[in-house]
Structure 1
Amino acid sequence: MNIENYYSTRKNVFERVQDANTATKVLMSLMMACFTGIMAQIIIPLPWTPVPVTAQTFAVLCSGLFLGKKYGCLSQVLYVVLGVAFIPWFGGMTGGVETLLGSTGGFLVGFVIASYFVGAITEKYAHARNFTRMATVIGVANFALIYIPGLLGLALWLSLTQGATVGIVDLLMMGLVPFIAGDIVKILGAASVSKVCLPKD
């Protein structure tokens, strides 16, 4: 395949996804929710924090890239709702409302917000789909839109379950700092997916 055929195929596939009917888009959202659940099982527990390292953030970011704001967001809503209802596909094969109300519940909320944000930028600004710009967009989604509700939820959970207010430094050491290196890898990976798979016009 020459470069022109590659560009043409990439654009055609992207447009077919965007122009698919509602039922197909909902099915793609469900498939992306399943992918998120699979990636959530790649897990590294950390002894000093109830928040584990997982690979699911990569799937969250890709959901916005491939499905756009509406259906990328829907994929993460499905992931959360089905996980709470009856599918144990959160990190470590957990599920139920106790996970949503637990130490990582705020991160689940952040997944929905981040997928919408990435999808909105991807849909509206074709020039933002290159590696550098998309790495910036995804970095904002990851470190602001996922971690802010995640850290707030973690702080609330610690306060309610342990009856103690955690200082900002301790909170960051539990919910942010250990994950930075891995998140950078996932951000660069998602930006690479954007560069390779999404048209730039």
Structure 2
Amino acid sequence: MKTRDLAYIALFAAIVAVLGQLPAVPVPGIPVPITAQTLGVMLAGSVLGAKRGGLALLLFLAVVAVGAPLLASGSGGLGVFVGPTAGYLYSWPVAAFVIGWLTERFWRRFNLAWALVANLLGGIVVIYAIGIPFTSLYADIPLSVSATGSLAFIPGDVVKAVAASVVAVAVRRAYPVIELPGRRATAG
């Protein structure tokens, strides 16, 4: 891995940390708040690709695990990995990887529509598929209640997916130096 790759990984881990400084919005009936940090997950995957995007989120979670209070709730440490929000945290590297993988597959025809598909599938479907069962388990609520409660996240997550898609397409066009593996940088 090149120094540039490490710098991008660290940069996107920092972006997720900065997005965690925006206050969390509590959701009635579910112990998981709405945060801006999933926007960082989507950006990492769609801008950096699968490997670097996933590694950026693993780095972020490692820093959280050692106690840095970088989550939107102001928390950090190992305790966050065994509570109602744990599944969402576990999903972030997987989601960034999936978004990046889809972005790499769509690279030749990468436009706003394909970027949105990648961000919706990875940034919503993957995150919910992992997060909802963990919330059910750790909050001791039925899976149906956890799934129903997560519906409150969908409008905001769709907005984040659109924003991440617009940014990813703009970055690809304006700053082609961020190459995806096996792809030659292009300006258009």
TM-score, length of structure 2 as denominator length: 0.85
Contact 2:68–2:76 (CA<8 Å) still a contact in 1?
yes
Amino acid at match of 2:36: A
Q: Quote the Cα distance in structure 2 between the aligned partners of 1:45 and 1:78.
A: 26
- Post-superposition offset of 1:140: 0.8
Q: Which has the larger radius of gyration?
A: 1
Greater share of residues in helix: 1
Tell me the SS of whatever aligns to 1:50.
strand
Equivalent position of 1:30 in the other structure: 10
Structure 2 stretches lacking a partner, 5+ long? 174-185
Amino acid at match of 1:74: L
**What is the identity, as a one-letter code, of the residue corresponding to 2:3?**
A
Structure 1 residue corresponding to 2:80, chosen from 92, 99, 105? 99
Task: Give the C-alpha shift of residue 34 in structure 1.
Answer: 1.3
> Aligned letter for 2:83?
G
Q: 1:125-144, aligned counterparts within 5 Å?
A: 125-144=106-125
Contact 1:41 1:54 in 2 (8 A): no
User: Of residues 134, 138, 141 in structure 2, which corresponds to 1:153?
Assistant: 134
Aligned residues: 174
List runs of 5+ in structure 1 lacking aligned partners: 1-20, 160-164
Quick check: 2:67–2:78 contact (8 Å CA) kept in 1?
Answer: no
Compute the displacement of 1:191 (Å). Answer: 1.2
CA contact (8 A) 2:46 2:119 kept: no
Whether 1:121 aligns to 2:102 is yes
> Is 1:195 aligned to 2:176, yes or no?
no
Give the Å deviation of 1:81.
1.2
What percentage of residue pairs aligned between the two structures are identical? 25
Change (3 A) 1:149 1:55: same
Letter of the 1:36 counterpart? V
What displacement does 1:36 show?
0.4
Partners of 2:93 and 2:29 lie apart in 1 by 27
In structure 2, do the counterparts of structure 1 residues 75 and 167 end up closer, same or farther at CA, with 3 Å as the change threshold? closer
Q: Aligned runs of 1:154-173 on 2, under 5 Å?
A: 154-159=135-140, 165-168=141-144, 170-173=145-148
The residue aligned with 2:41 is 60
Pick one of 88, 91, 113 that aligns with 1:110: 91
Contact 1:61 1:138 in 2 (8 A): yes
CA shift at 1:128, angstroms? 4.4
Contact 1:122/1:128 (CA < 8 Å) preserved in 2? no
> Alpha-carbon deviation of 1:158?
1.8
Alpha carbon RMSD of aligned pairs, Å? 1.7
User: Is the 2:46–2:168 contact (alpha carbons within 8 Å) kept by the matching residues of 1?
Assistant: yes
Moved over 6 A (4+): none
Q: Distance in 2 between matches of 1:64 and 1:149?
A: 17
> 1:167 Cα shift?
4.6
CA distance in 1, matches of 2:152, 2:112: 25
For residue 24 of structure 1, report the CA deviation from its aligned partner.
2.4
Preserved CA contact (<8 Å) 1:53 1:179: yes
